[in-house]
Every structure is written in C-alpha cells, then in structure tokens.
Amino acid sequence: MPSKRLSVTVTRRLPDAVETRMRELFDVTLREDDTPMTAAELIAAMQTSDVLVPTVTDEINAKVLGQAGDRLKLIANYGAGVDNVDVQTARQRGILVSNTPGVVTEDTADMTMALILAVTRRIPEGLALMQSGDWDGWAPTAMIGGRIAGRRLGILGMGRIGQAVAKRARAFGMQIHYNNRRRLRPEVEDDLDATWWDSLDQMVARMDIISINCPHTPATFHLMNARRLKLMKPDAVIVNTARGEVIDENALTRMLRAGDIAGAGLDVYENGTDVNPRLRELKNVVLLPHMGSATLEGRVEMGEKVLLNIKTFDDGHRPPDLVVPAML
C-alpha cells in the first residue's frame, strides 16, 4: 500500500514548472489568485498542512505560529531571506524552516549593477524624455551623468551577492571596498581586489557609491540611519537590492530632496509596497518593484530548491537548506 503523500500548501503562484512538479510529488494546495494570504488564511493553512511554502510577502510571526496545528512540521520558504518567519518560535514549536540560498546571487548582482548604471547615467530620465517626444537632439551638455570607472564602490555585506557585485564592478573598472561582520579570507580579498574597512562609518564617508547587500536582522535594521547617511559625500549614490529595512527610508528621502545625497537606486523598501510618496516624486531616484531576482531561470531554481528541501524531509532526512537561529 503506497504511503500517504505530504500535504503541502503554497501561499503564492509559482512558475508553471514548479507547480506541475508539486502536483506530481505531493498532495498540494496551490494559490489560485496571486495575492498574499491574510493572517487568517495562513493560520488555516498551517492547521491542515504538513508543509507550508510561503514567500517574503507572508508574515509568519509568533502569533501566527502559535495557532499552527501540530501537523505542521516544515516551513519551506520560497526565498533566501527568512526575515518573514519567526525562526526561533518555529524551532520552539518543533517546526523546521528551510530557505533557498545561492539561487538569486547572479540575478541580484546583475540588478545591483543595473541600478548603479541607471542612477549614475540617468537612464530613466533619458527614457522619459524619449517617450514624451520632447527630445530635440543631441547637445554637449544634455543628460550629463557620471562615469563609474575608477569610482569607489563600498559594499555593505560581502556574502555571495556582495562578492558577485564586486566581480562585476571590478570589470567596470571600479575600486572595491567592503564592510562585513567577518573579514574575508586573504585569498578571496586578493581575488576580488577588495579593501576591508573595519569601520562602516569611515567607509561610508569615503565612497562614491554604496551598495547594500546584507540581510535584514535586528543588528542591521536601520544600519544606514540618518546619522550614517549624513556621512555620505554629497555627490555619492546609494543602491539597495537587499532588504528595505536596512535603510532609514524617511531619512534617505529627506536627504535626497535636500541634495545632501546625489541619488539612489532602490529595489526594496522599508514598508513593503507602502513607499514614501515623496520618494516617488524625485528625479534623482530609480525605483523598482522588488524585481532583483525576477528571472524565469532564478524563480524556477528557487522552486527546485523548495522541492528538494520538502522531498528530503519527506524521506526522513534533514533538509539541505535548513535554517537555524544561530545563522541569523
């Protein structure tokens, strides 16, 4: 007699290839409309499922976890970041949490460079000019931007994505600097031609471009706060493809409006879709809708990681991408 299949609930629409494989392997409940689940819907799913597959849009806090059923044994997060899940509370309740690390590295690094170029070379402004029909020809002083070759790039967070950004930026002729909670091994520093800064304040004050590539944790919340943003040079640029909570968005908006910082490129925001309306009005800002990992290849690979974590768990083994509180 065949063993009973795991009951799996997926909270958002996933690529067709991933959903098809889910149906083949598990007793899966898929999301019909591509909207985030409410807290009540999450709780209901967690009371009737063996495995929950959430995304960054699902807030699985202690209150929600407190109402999960005894049946729930694995939260297989569709994404590398797990700041949407209270991992400590899940662990206390005997619920494993897994993620999908490494999959979005190249795509996010590409988007980081795209934002650097978009801000410094004023690409969205040029697009708007062409689409408006107001362009009346080339001029020596029109649409003047800034060259990135030779400029100092300060990377905040030198993990997989930070190092991938460094490799790309080095190919553009940029000088690579970084701050990280742990210094890289000498051979890695040499390979990246990267300069370590023990003091984040000192690095921020000397960089032409700051790239945020660290995760959101209690220690990194508002790491770029008003005081630290004021250390930036007035002609400097900041880009963020990591987590919005790392930057004090209101302070950044004030400084951009005042001209104290030259520009910003943001793919993530402190309050999700509730973006400061004054930030949206600025011409020296490039805003994207959290699309840093949005390639078909990347999203399918994320799904494959989720499937592997669930299948390994179902086979009685530890999921390969198990998250533990000590990692955070």
* 169-201 per-position pLDDT tens digit: 999 999 999 999 999 999 999 999 999 999 999
Three-state secondary-structure class, residue 212: strand
76 and 306 Cβ atoms separated by less than 8 Å: yes
Query: pTM, whole model, 2 decimals?
Result: 0.89
* % of the chain residues with pLDDT over 70: 98
Average pLDDT estimate for 268-275: 94
Class (C level, CATH) for 105-287: alpha beta
Cα 176 from Cα 150, distance rounded (Å): 10
Residue 3 has pLDDT above 70, yes or no: no
> Looking at domain 7-103+295-327, which CATH architecture does it have?
3-Layer(aba) Sandwich (3.40)
How far, in whole angstroms, is CA 195 from its chain's centroid? 24
In this prediction, residue 18 has a pLDDT band, given cuts at 50, 70 and 90, of very high
Report the first-to-last Cα separation within the chain, whole angstroms.
42
CATH fold match for the domains 7-103+295-327 and 105-287: yes
Higher pLDDT, 324 or 291: 291
Which letter does DSSP use for residue 159 in this model?
Answer: S
Domain-wise residue ranges, the chain: 7-103+295-327, 105-287
pLDDT band at residue 1 under the 50/70/90 scheme: very low
